[in-house]
């Protein structure tokens, strides 16, 4: 048999943009030059063309049914990445109010969101894990949220530190809970009805760069002032069905295919969660059974199912680990510069074989070099 392009792929542990399902990539390749039946490429087509509008609605409907999202919520496809949401959220929900917005800070992305929110209004950091180098998330008794807060914001999975909330924070009923789910969107079932808003840039766990999914409760659409720049007002996007201006058509197309893959190939989010727990279990077990050769960054009770972060005894061993891993077809494992060490991102699309191969490599490397 001749080797295919697909055969050249390594197991890619990149934090983002990150691994996509091979079957989705192959489908995109096959349909890119001419979308079946459409006589042109999706890339060449008007976003108002019924063919694309159907693709957008299919993507929305797949996400709605995977997460069981009710009609009380709008699902929007926006640009500007997660970073624009750091500003759009307070611009719509905090600017011009007498309220303050509550933030839980458990890592780099939460910290950046807070910096942007401060430009829009009063920010109340109800919990800050900075002093412990962002190695944990708080438990319910560690913080309290004033009942008159504009909203409570948190990041469910801090991609850089590899800490993840095992369940959502406690939040008074009167306060909309807002979640940055960029690096763990659709990694397990989520009770959307507990949230005012959940958003995620796609390029970690859901698709290619260029689109950000915003799931927002419809009453919150009414708060943003019409004096905001048009693009920044959620209501405009909701009323225009994410076609207030040209949406990122390619990214939405691929996102829809990933959602369909989750539904048809994986079998839904419960099955996805089970697989994700197995994959993460392989890596954390390799850390825990290494007799201290590997040290995990996150406290065990809040270890991320998506990004496993750990260090080796010294920098030389770390470099050796990275280069030997690459020789073994395991790539993009270097940790973020602010944490150092190794970061293995094992998003939805990472097959279990990839996590197994890395775990086996880790165990062999530790016994040779420990």
Ligand X SMILES: *Cc1c(COP(=O)(O)O)cnc(C)c1O
Considering only the stretches 29-37, 130-138, 180-188, 298-306, report the one whose residues sit in contact with ligand X under the rule CB under 6 A. 180-188
The token pair at 30 is 């096959």
Q: Which of 180, 253, 261, 334 is catalytic?
A: 180
Q: Which of 60, 116, 120, 180 lies at the binding interface for ligand X (CB under 6 A)?
A: 180
CA 141 to chain centre: 27
C-alpha dihedral sign at 173, 177, 345, 338: negative
Q: Does 309 bind ligand X (CB under 6 A)?
A: no
Q: What residues contact 188, with CB distance under 8 A and at least 6 apart?
A: 269, 270, 272, 273, 276, 305
274 catalytic residue (yes or no): no
Considering only residues 249 to 308 of the shown chain, the ones binding ligand X according to CB under 6 A are none
Full DSSP string of 159-181:
TTTTEE-SSPPP--TTS-EEEE-
Q: Is 246 assigned to a binding site?
A: yes
Interactions with ligand X, residue window 86-115 (CB under 6 A): 109
Q: Look up 180 and say whether it is catalytic.
A: yes
37: left (phi over 0), alpha (psi -120 to 50) or beta: left
Q: How far apart are CA 57 and CA 353, in angstroms?
A: 33
* 97 is an annotated ligand-binding site residue: no
Q: Is 146 in the site for ligand X (CB under 6 A)?
A: no
Q: Is 135 annotated as a binding residue?
A: no
Among 17, 23, 38, 81, indicate the residue that binds ligand X (CB under 6 A). 81
Interface segment toward ligand X; rule CB under 6 A; list 46-54, 133-141, 175-183, 229-237:
175-183
Pick the binder of ligand X from 62, 92, 183, 348 (CB under 6 A).
Answer: 183
179 binds ligand X (CB under 6 A): no
Whether omega before 106 lies within 30 degrees of 0, making that bond cis, reads no
* Spatial contact of 250 and 208, defined as CB atoms under 8 Å apart: yes
Nearer to ligand X, 35 or 91 (CB): 91
Which residue in 182, 242, 309, 345 binds ligand X (CB under 6 A)? 182
Contacts of 36 (CB under 8 A, 6+ apart): none
CB of 152 to ligand X, least distance (A): 16
- Contact between 197 and ligand X per CB under 6 A: no
| 106 belongs to an annotated ligand binding site | no
Closest CA to 171 of 102, 105, 219: 102
- With tokens 């096959």, the residue in question is 30
- The one catalytic residue in 54, 112, 148, 204 is 204
Distances (CA, A) of 65 to 55, 173, 182, 260: 15, 25, 19, 10
> Would strands 152-155 and 100-105 be described as parallel, antiparallel, or unpaired?
parallel
Q: Which of 24, 94, 155, 223 binds ligand X (CB under 6 A)?
A: 155
In whole angstroms, give the CA distance from residue 19 to residue 346.
Answer: 8
Span from 61-69, 178-186, 233-241, 329-337 in contact with ligand X (CB under 6 A)? 178-186
Q: What are phi and psi of 124, to 5 degrees?
A: -120, 105
Task: Give the single-character DSSP code of 150.
Answer: S
Q: Tell me whether residue 183 or residue 348 sits nearer to ligand X (CB atom).
A: 183
Span near ligand X by CB under 6 A; candidates 88-96, 118-126, 179-187, 285-293 = 179-187
Strands 11-12 and 73-78: unpaired
**CB of residue 251 to ligand X, shortest distance in Å:** 11
Query: CB count, 10 Å around CB of 68?
Result: 12
Contact 163, 298 (CB under 8 A): yes
Interface with ligand X, residue 348, by CB under 6 A: no
| Position 159 contacts ligand X (CB under 6 A) | yes
2 annotated as ligand-binding: no
| Residue choice 11, 12, 13, 16 for contact with ligand X (CB under 6 A) | 16
Rounded to the nearest whole angstrom, what is the least distance from the CB of residue 276 to ligand X in the complex? 16
Alpha helices in 186-268 (DSSP H): 234-239, 249-261
Interface map 202-231 toward ligand X (x if CB under 6 A): --x---------------------------
Chain residues binding ligand X by CB under 6 A are 16, 81-83, 109, 155, 159, 180, 182-183, 201, 204
Binding-site positions read 48, 109, 159, 180, 203, 245-246
Active site residues: 109, 180, 204
């Amino acid at each position: 048999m001749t080797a295919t392009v697909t055969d050249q792929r390594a197991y890619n542990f990149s934090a983002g943009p990150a691994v996509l399902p091979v079957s989705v990539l192959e489908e995109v390749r096959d349909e890119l030059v001419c979308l079946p039946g459409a006589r042109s490429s999706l890339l060449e087509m008007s976003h108002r063309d019924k063919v694309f509008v159907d693709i957008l609605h299919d993507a929305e409907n797949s996400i709605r049914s995977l997460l069981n999202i009710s009609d009380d919520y709008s699902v929007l496809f926006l640009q500007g990445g997660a970073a624009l949401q750091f500003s759009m959220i307070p611009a719509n929900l905090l600017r011009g109010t007498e309220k303050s917005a509550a933030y839980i800070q458990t890592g780099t992305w939460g910290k950046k969101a807070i910096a942007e929110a401060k430009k829009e209004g009063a920010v109340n950091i109800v919990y800050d894990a900075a002093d412990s180098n962002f190695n944990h998330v708080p438990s319910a008794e560690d913080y309290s949220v004033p009942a008159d807060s504009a909203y409570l914001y948190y990041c469910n999975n801090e991609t850089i530190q590899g800490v993840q909330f095992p369940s959502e924070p406690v939040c008074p009923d009167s306060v909309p809970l807002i979640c940055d789910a960029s690096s763990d969107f659709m990694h397990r079932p989520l009770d959307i009805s507990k949230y005012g808003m959940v958003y995620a840039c796609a390029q970690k766990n859901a698709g290619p760069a260029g689109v950000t999914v915003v799931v927002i409760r419809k009453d919150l659409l009414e708060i943003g002032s019409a004096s905001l720049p048009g693009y920044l007002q959620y209501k405009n996007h909701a009323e225009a069905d994410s076609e207030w201006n040209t949406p990122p058509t390619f990214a939405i197309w691929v996102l829809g295919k990933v959602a369909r893959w989750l539904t048809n190939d994986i079998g839904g989010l419960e099955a996805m969660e089970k697989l994700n727990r197995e994959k993460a279990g392989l890596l954390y077990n390799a850390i825990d059974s290494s007799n201290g050769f590997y040290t995990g960054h996150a406290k065990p009770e809040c270890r991320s199912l998506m990004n496993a972060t750990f260090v080796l005894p010294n920098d030389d061993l770390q470099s050796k680990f990275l280069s030997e891993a690459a020789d073994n077809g395991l790539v993009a494992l270097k940790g973020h510069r602010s944490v150092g060490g190794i970061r293995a991102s094992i998003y939805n699309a990472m097959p279990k074989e990839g996590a197994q191969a890395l775990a086996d490599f880790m165990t062999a490397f530790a016994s040779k070099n420990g």
